[in-house]
Amino acid sequence: MDTQVRIQSAIDVESNEKSLGQMSGSRWFLRKEEVYGEGASAAYFYLLKSGFIRSFKTLSDGRRHVQSFSIPGEFFGLESGDRHFVASEAIIRSKILALPRSAFTASSVPDQSALKYILDITALELRRAQYHNLLLLRSAQERVVGFLLDMSERQQNSFDISLPMTRTDIADYLGLTIETVSRMLGKLESMSAIEIQRRRVILRKMAVLLEMFA
Amino acid sequence: MDTQVRIQSAIDVESNEKSLGQMSGSRWFLRKEEVYGEGASAAYFYLLKSGFIRSFKTLSDGRRHVQSFSIPGEFFGLESGDRHFVASEAIIRSKILALPRSAFTASSVPDQSALKYILDITALELRRAQYHNLLLLRSAQERVVGFLLDMSERQQNSFDISLPMTRTDIADYLGLTIETVSRMLGKLESMSAIEIQRRRVILRKMAVLLEMFA
DNA sequence: CGGAGTTTTGATCGAGCTCAACGTGGGTGG
DNA sequence: CCACCCACGTTGAGCTCGATCAAAACTCCG
């Protein structure tokens, strides 16, 4: 993958942690617990403190489209509009801080930086959606590699990446079948580019992976 | 297509026209003229007054990804960051108003509504990118139908839609080949669901089209 | 431990790509 | 203004990548 395509990681959460923390308490969500449903009121958006989130849309014929995964330190649920466009749920037990949208956007809020904060998060979300689009135009092999590279970058550029989501989640995110995802991962492992563990993948040959994404 | 999926059209430009008009003059761009290049400084974003715009990214191997089309009344070039993520050019002769980003986001600007305006546009852009993602997960036939429905909705819900872009543009937007786009359009025409004219398509059987997008 | 959910692997099928040839129309120069 | 010409669009035949169908192996909770 073209490195300039990948997403620079995010907004500095830590520096805002304190002020955000004052607004509302965080709570734990169990595995497969819904944070918000499709079409629900979008009065809140969320900061994931720990765990893993999937945001998805269910089509009328039952097909499922995974719009995004969120990892600790990232925001989710800010898709604009007054209704959530997708549903979100915890992939594993997750600690989540709910933030009232109005506290940032209400015209009574004198602090312009709060609004700017929302804008930055939305813009980052847009960038991610565009990167996702780019993935979906490519071959199965490239999609899988691009997905791993993105996950690596967002997980502090680690080569040892955590993938608690199922193959079905990955397949629905990449627009492939679980069999194809499994085969592509298998192929990458057979060429020693990666090493597959249970819910974890180790990137062994970054140069090869980067080359494949070209 | 699931109607709730489609994008409600935009921000009320007219009501802001006057104040925007004061900021900067608009100018005409010729067919195929570049408005801004990939990686160029994103000091400005743009309002399309008339014409048609394509925004695209060229991959290292020469493949091209069309990120979006813009029609009159829509904004473009607000992908976040200080650099443009894609390039934009006029598909036909187009009248474009350039808006300095800083006039909206600078902390010296006392008016919070300006910032909110930028946020709304960015959020709408995000919504569009998400809809585009949804298209890319579907079959060739569904992508073409979804594209036509989106264009119809954005063009005042008209059944007579203007498509000045080439088949190559549409193909690169939908992740298909020009042959497949041509065949899918042909198939829709043969079932009398649409009527193809040169750079124009008339939607004849909305019920059928909506059904196909299911 | 038991059993359902998940992942891998294999065999076959088909939607969409590729390659090729032909048709068409609008822009440009004479 | 017209005719040429080249970019654009359509149509056909065969092939390939990823989907589908099937079944075995694993693993993780309960």
**Cα first-last separation, chain A:** 5
Chain C footprint bases within 7 A of protein beta carbons? 6-11, 15-20, 25-26
Closest CA to A46 of A23, A66, A62, A65: A23
Contact A23, A103 (CB under 8 A): yes
**pTM for this prediction:** 0.89
Whether residue A136 and residue B133 make contact (CB cut-off 8 A), yes or no, is yes
Q: Which residues of B touch A4 (CB under 8 A)?
A: 39
pLDDT confidence of residue B35: 95
The shortest C-alpha distance from A198 to chain B (Å) reads 27
Residue B59 CB neighbour total at 10 angstroms: 16
Spatial separation of the C-alpha atoms in residues A146 and A7, rounded to whole Å: 12
pLDDT confidence of residue A20: 52
- A86 φ/ψ angles, rounded to the nearest 5 degrees: -130, 170
Element (H, E) at B47: strand B44-58
Gap from B51 CA to C24 C1', in Å? 25
Per-residue pLDDT of chain B (214 residues; tens, 9 = 90+): 333 444 444 454 444 544 554 555 899 999 999 999 999 999 999 999 999 999 999 998 889 999 999 999 999 999 877 899 899 999 999 999 999 998 888 877 777 888 888 999 999 999 999 999 999 999 999 999 999 999 999 999 999 999 999 999 999 999 999 999 999 999 999 999 999 998 999 999 999 999 999 8
Contact B83, B41 (CB under 8 A): yes
Give the closest of B112, B130, B137 to A112, CB-based.
Answer: B112
Contact B151, B199 (CB under 8 A): no
Instruction: Kindly tell me if the per-residue pLDDT of A114 is higher than 90.
Output: no
DSSP states along B56-104: EEE-TTS-EEEEEEE-TT-EE---SSSB-SSEEEEEEEEEEEEEETHHH
**CA-based torsion, B75, B81, B82, B85: positive or negative:** negative
The shortest C-alpha distance from A78 to chain B (Å) reads 9
Spatial separation of the C-alpha atoms in residues A134 and B140, rounded to whole Å: 17
Whether residue A119 and residue B119 make contact (CB cut-off 8 A), yes or no, is yes
Alpha-helical regions (H) of chain B = 14-23, 102-105, 112-136, 140-154, 167-174, 178-190, 206-213
- B23 φ/ψ angles, rounded to the nearest 5 degrees: -75, -35
Residue with minimal CA–C1' distance to D28 is A198
Give the closest of A2, A113, A123 to B80, CB-based.
Answer: A123
